[in-house]
A and B are shown apart, each in its own frame.
Chain A
Amino acid sequence: DIVMTQSPDSLAVSLGERATINCKSSQSVLHSSNNKNYLVWYQQKPGQPPKLLISWASTRESGVPDRFSGSGSGTDFTLTISSLQAEDVAVYHCQQHLESLTFGGGTKVEIK
């Protein structure tokens, strides 16, 4: 199985500041035949189900604010919130779907 490791487990960021979450896979999730990274990010607010934020490592879903961005390739990925808003308090999960699917452990983002 592909193991997904997120860091940090939690972080506290001041309003308006940048938040950076890392996700590392135990093997590459880049498929050579189509040059796509099989990596998505979800946001899960307290008491709610996960919400798809970013697919294919860097494609924002419709309606997702542009302060959210995804980057990276192969085994190392980053979700960046460029200017943290109060409504961004949540747990963020990465997930690979190259082989079956596995989730990272989640990163809790709070306001400092």
Chain B
Amino acid sequence: QVQLVQSGAEVKKPGASVRVSCKASGYTFNTYGISWVRQAPGQGLEWMGWISPYNGDTEYAQNVQGRVTMTTDTSTSTAYMELRSLRSDDTAVYYCARAPPRGGPGRGWYMDVWGKGTTVTVSS
């Protein structure tokens, strides 16, 4: 079955960086995009960006642009999200999710399969 398995919880100090991994299985990795979404404690969902494993194209949300880098390793079907210059308000659960190809005139994505999430805590 289609599965996204994320790396374990992280605790970081302000100003540090964090890298979260997301290993895909059960489908052909480079035929779907990967979106990253975070959820701060008790809050809603916040989209961070999208990457195409096929060609490496990315699109980042304005709120994290300049601090985030998304990459993929097609040899291991793994996506990565690195967030730098961490602040306390980056404390959240970070999800990777599979994004079906657009296949039409729309310029966004929805997500049909989600990983279980990685808790990132930023605290001094």
Which residue in A52, A93, A99 is a CB contact (below 8 Å) of B44? A93
B11 at the interface (CB under 8 A from A): no
Known pairs A49-B117, A52-B112, A100-B59; A38 contacts B106 (CB<8 A)? yes
Q: Considering only CB atoms and an 8 Å cut-off, how many residues of chain A contact the other chain?
A: 27
Chain A interface residues toward B at CB < 8 A: 31, 33-34, 36, 38, 40, 42, 48-52, 55, 61, 93, 95-106
Whether, in the assembled complex, B29 has its beta carbon less than 8 Å from a beta carbon of chain A, the answer is: no
Residue of A nearest to B45 (CB): A103
With beta carbons under 8 angstroms apart, the residue of A33, A48, A49, A103 that contacts B47 is A103
| Interface SS of chain B | loop
> In the complex, which residues of chain B have a beta carbon less than 8 angstroms from the beta carbon of A34?
104-105
* 28 pairs, A vs B, C-beta closer than 8 Å: A31-B104, A31-B105, A31-B106, A33-B105, A34-B104, A38-B106, A40-B110, A42-B45, A48-B116, A49-B95, A49-B97, A49-B114, A50-B37, A50-B45, A50-B97, A51-B114, A52-B110, A93-B44, A96-B108, A98-B108, A99-B108, A100-B47, A100-B59, A100-B61, A101-B47, A101-B108, A101-B110, A106-B44
Once A100-B47, A101-B47, A106-B45 are accepted as A-B contacts, the answer to whether A52 and B108 lie under 8 Å apart by CB is no
Interface residues of B, Cβ cutoff 8 Å to A: 35, 37, 44-47, 59, 61, 95, 97, 104-117
Q: Which one of A49, A50, A95 has the greatest number of beta carbons of chain B within 10 Å? A: A49
Whether the pair B45, A38 counts as a contact (CB closer than 8 A) is no
Q: Separation in Å of the B101 CB from the closest CB of chain A?
A: 12
Query: Known pairs A49-B116, A99-B106, A106-B44. 20 more at Cβ < 8 A?
Result: A34-B105, A42-B45, A49-B114, A50-B37, A50-B95, A50-B111, A50-B114, A52-B110, A93-B44, A95-B45, A97-B109, A98-B106, A99-B107, A100-B61, A100-B108, A101-B109, A101-B110, A104-B44, A105-B44, A106-B45
